[in-house]
Structure 1
Amino acid sequence: MGRCRRPVRRRTRRLDPHPPHPNRKHPLMFYEIRRYQVQPGRRDEWVRYMAEAIIPFQVSKGVSVTATFITDDDPDGYVWIRRFDDEAQRIALNAAVYDSERWTSQLGLQCEQFLIPEQATLTRVIPVSDAGLAGIEKAMGLG
């Protein structure tokens, strides 16, 4: 206990039927899209807690947090995206975060107060472009 229940893992299929280009810098790079259902009426508190505690802690352990969102169609929905170079990095960084003393004695316990764990989902996605999200934003003039 002491750790937020890990979300249900849902794998998504690669939209591109062709294998990655052989010169691709990170052929195994992927993103995790984590969707949480926050206890009714507590989303604003959760957003602050993520921004002030969870995200800085995860980043301090080496996790790349790409983006966070609130859902437009659900007043208690929250989504965030993490990026990993490969599965080995994901395993190592998850261990650094979720097996740490701070997580097990403080942060994880607080998560349990905010979230509805059985409604959390995790989807792993692989970019179909070598550029990933940053390249797409740049191409659209956003980055």
Structure 2
Amino acid sequence: MSAHAVFELRQYTLRPGQRERLVELFEREFIEPQEALGMGLPGQFRDLDDPDRFVWLRSFPDMPARAAALAAFYDGPVWRGHREAANATMLDSDDVLLLRPTQPFALEGMTRPGLGERAPAGLLSATVCPVPPSDAAPLARSFDMQVRPVLGRLGAPVLGQFVTEPARNTFPRLPVREGESVFVWFAAFADARAQARHRAAAAADPIVDAWVHRLEALPETLRLAPTPRSLLRGASSLMTTPGEHA
């Protein structure tokens, strides 16, 4: 998965009270079949600020491979056998950002828990930053060189950094958010209190503040609890020295 160049950040709005049903179905039926078709599934998450939102990541080697893998999965027997149950939990599944990594996840050493297996959980955040398209690359570089080390010192090891993938959607049956330019970074925390302390410290840091003021709008931060079989579950315990490149 480390060589994958295309990622989807998928946010599903679910029918009230249906998230646990979808998590159980997803983790029992949908992980290994997608991986067998060459897709990567770095993480599945519960949104801590919305009990009816399910967030997950999916990756591909490139855009042509994405089209082929998605066609194979959504026209295949696994999805046909479970799509009615999955779709019954959802109100909306079109909130999808198509991304490419500027600093990919370092997944070496991470293993996916099996069904029913207990593993350290931790907490992640995904910070979605609207950026001017012409300034996306410079903002990504300045984040990596100036902001990322600060965030590490403040207790937020950065797991990965991404910008919008500008290519045309090669699988239009699954819509994506088009006409947007974003920079997204993921961080890991031991728990919600550590994440709250970090947010307060980052908001008061002049380097972080100066970078945020270059954005088109204020960033949106998703507080994410990894589901039991998320590959990124417990990522905070595997990070190296804060601020150090993995």
Q: Could you state the TM-score of these two structures normalised by the residue count of structure 2?
A: 0.42
How many Å apart are 1:57 and its aligned residue?
2.3
Deviations 1:55-109 (A, max 9, x none): 22222332211111110110011111011110011011001100113322x2222
2:105 maps to a residue whose letter is L
Pair 1:90-2:66 in alignment: yes
Query: Is the alpha carbon distance of 1:30 and 1:102 closer, same or farther for their aligned partners in structure 2, counting shifts above 3 Å?
Result: closer
In structure 1, the residue matched to 2:25 is 49
Larger Rg: 2
Q: Is 1:54–1:107's contact at 8 Å kept on the other side of the alignment?
A: no
Counterpart pick for 2:55 among 79, 95, 104: 79
Quick check: 1:120 aligned with 2:94? yes
Greater helix content: 1
Name the stretch that deviates more: 132-141 or 78-87: 132-141
> Would you say how many aligned residue pairs link Structure 1 and Structure 2?
114
The structure richer in strand per residue is 2
- Contact 1:37/1:120 (<8 A) preserved: no
Task: Write the mapping of 1:7-18 to structure 2, written as runs, cut at 5 A.
Answer: none
SS in structure 1 of the partner of residue 101 of structure 2:
coil
| In structure 1, C-alpha distance between the alignment counterparts of 2:8 and 2:53, rounded to whole Å | 16
AA partner of residue 134 (structure 1): A
Letter paired with 2:97: T
Task: Report the AA paired with residue 114 of structure 1.
Answer: T
CA distance in 2, matches of 1:102, 1:64: 17
Higher-RCO chain (CA-CA 8 Å, sequence separation at least 6): 1
Confirm or deny: 8 A CA contact 1:61 1:96 kept in the other structure. yes
Distance 2:58 2:41 in 1: 4
Instruction: Answer yes or no: is 1:141 the counterpart of 2:236.
Output: no
